[in-house]
Amino acid sequence: MDTVPLFDVTGSPAGPAAPVALVVPPVPAEPVTPVFEVVVRGTPAPQGSKRHVGGGRMIESSAGVKPWRDAVTLYAVQARLKRRGFVKLTGPLRADMLFTFTRPKGHMGTGRNAGRVRLSAPIRPDVVPDLSKLARSTEDALTTAGVYQDDALIVEYGQLGKWYTTDHGGTPGVLDSPGCLIRLWRVDPPASRDPA
């Protein structure tokens, strides 16, 4: 019985086919420095959940949201004033927000293992507060501080997450005490966009 190859094993009479080049669009270079950067010290707190207290009044469920927003506003105003000629940001922005929390004592070893994280401890803070609610309280405070016109200008996130202080030094941007590193970057239009 004769076998018939499923493809040409000898190549075409004109020779092997030329390789196909894949065209990959260039990745836009990230600016070396953000348009705004601040480190806020304090315990990050969420915004969003409210509870009814009677008389048609609603208050934030988190008692920590006001101190957190006040801290973000204070540190952001100070950072804004240090930048000579700073103008309130407009246009689309990308935000980095790296929230850092103290690791609970129960996550740490005892005795000769004091200072070491237990193997059974969670790697990251996968408990309340919710990350989206932390971002919301922080974005609103940046509006209050006059960093940008409105938090609706944030169209994307770069780094957004929750870490423990024990990740300091191992993960860039994670603080050595509770707080948040905030960076804002301009989102430039694609080079191929029609200038009209």
Q: What CA–CA distance (Å, rounded) separates 127 from 101?
A: 11
pLDDT tens for each residue of 22-35: 665 555 555 568 99
Choice among 53-67, 83-97, 158-172, 178-192 with the minimum mean pLDDT = 53-67
Dihedral angle of Cα 53, 55, 59, 61, to the nearest 10 degrees: 20
Question: Angle CA(115)–CA(119)–CA(124) in degrees, nearest 5?
Answer: 85
Has residue 140 got a pLDDT over 70? Answer: yes
Query: Can you list the alpha helix ranges (DSSP code H) found in the chain?
Result: 65-82, 131-144
Average pLDDT, the chain: 85
- Decide: 44 and 180 in contact? Cβ < 8 Å: yes
pLDDT tens for each residue of 49-100: 655 556 766 555 578 899 999 999 999 999 999 999 999 999 999 999 999 9
Predicted pLDDT at 6: 56
Predicted pLDDT at 21: 59
- Parallel/antiparallel/unpaired status of strands 154-164 and 93-101: parallel
Tokens standing for residue 57:
């009044």
Reduce the DSSP state of residue 148 to 3 states and report it: strand
Has residue 176 got a pLDDT over 70? Answer: yes
State how far Cα 123 lies from the chain centre.
18
> In which region does residue 80 sit, left (phi positive, over 0), alpha (psi from -120 to 50) or beta (all else)?
alpha
Measured in residues, the chain has a length of: 196
Place 147 in a pLDDT band, splitting at 50, 70 and 90. Answer: very high
- Residue 78 CB contacts under 8 Å (≥ 6 apart), including other chains: 38
Bond before 129 cis per omega within 30 degrees: yes
Predicted pLDDT at 102: 97
**Phi, psi of 85, rounded to the nearest 5 degrees:** 75, 20
